[in-house]
Copies of this chain bind each other. A is one copy, B any other.
């Protein structure tokens, strides 16, 4: 391995001069700078990132923590963040937690050791919020994406209005004349709150039987479908946690001989794979790429020690209802 000392010796200068020269510092004369650079290239010298990290107290790495890598929603967001980062000289450490809080906390601890210069946490539980708060307060800048946080001065938040999304879907189904509307998802999610609000405004009661969890995979959707068909009093409209669930559910219903949307109107959330199905599935578009960008930008800004604008501590994204073929007026069977 060729080090800065080798270059120094070969160029007949001190290591300090080599360092300065390679960083194009004008303190070193034009000629020596050039010469050193040539020698370095000739020797195939590559500055050691580890040594640099130690002295600069920065690794040029940022951490990205997401629940599942193979989930179109997060994959798309990761891609967007990657796009923002790729022209800078930062790299991304990707941490998939599999929705496991312990694994998440393991990552947080790694981050505390100085492995990364900043981190983005996307929509997980809020189990480790305290720990992450400590990370943000004492170690490195942190940004949240679609994750709630009381103190946005310490951890800014980029957030889409998923509650409104579920609300819009519920209203949409109600407008179509559906009276019995189910929700597939957890109750501690804001999507559930939106669903409830929709029901409430229309004066519909919340039926326990109509709330099914857990729910974020295709398989969960299939399982929910099974339960649904087992009910004595079946719903005609269903709001799903996300597109994958909606797909699993729809495919199950269709295979079971049911008609979508004639007998069941199904909605997804997040606009990822919903357009892949036939009929295309009604959903809520969440601007993944548009959210990834400011998240990355904010984090870099913080890493560089710049002050955030007051408006940057909470960046809010509205969502949009996308009506497609999987929802139809009630009773069209």
* A254 on the B face (CB < 8 A): yes
Considering only residues 59-87 of chain A, those with a C-beta below 8 Å from chain B are 59, 61, 64, 68-72, 75-76, 78-79, 82-83, 86
Considering only residues 133-187 of chain A, those with a C-beta below 8 Å from chain B are none
* A57 on the B face (CB < 8 A): yes
B50 adjacent to A78 (CB under 8 Å): no
A69-B78, A247-B276, A278-B251 as given contacts; A50 in contact with B46, CB under 8 Å: no
Residue interface bits A92-105, CB-to-B below 8 A is 1, else 0: 11111010000100
* A15 on the B face (CB < 8 A): no
Give chain B residues whose Cβ lies under 8 Å from the Cβ of A69.
75, 78-79, 82
Residue in B113, B218, B276 whose beta carbon sits within 8 Å of that of A47 in the complex: B113
* A42 on the B face (CB < 8 A): no
A79 adjacent to B50 (CB under 8 Å): no
Residue in B72, B94, B114, B247 whose beta carbon sits within 8 Å of that of A93 in the complex: B94
21 A-B residue pairs with CB within 8 Å: A46-B109, A48-B113, A49-B110, A49-B114, A50-B50, A61-B115, A64-B94, A70-B76, A72-B72, A78-B96, A82-B96, A83-B98, A86-B98, A92-B95, A93-B94, A251-B276, A251-B278, A254-B278, A273-B276, A276-B277, A277-B278
- Give me 19 other A-B pairs in contact (C-beta within 8 A), A47-B113, A53-B54, A78-B94 excluded: A46-B113, A48-B113, A48-B114, A49-B114, A50-B114, A50-B115, A53-B53, A61-B93, A69-B79, A69-B82, A82-B96, A86-B96, A86-B98, A91-B93, A218-B276, A254-B278, A273-B276, A276-B276, A278-B278
Which residues from chain A sit less than 8 Å from chain B, CB to CB? Answer: 46-51, 53-54, 57, 59, 61, 64, 68-72, 75-76, 78-79, 82-83, 86, 91-96, 98, 103, 107, 109-110, 112-115, 218, 247, 251, 254, 273, 275-279
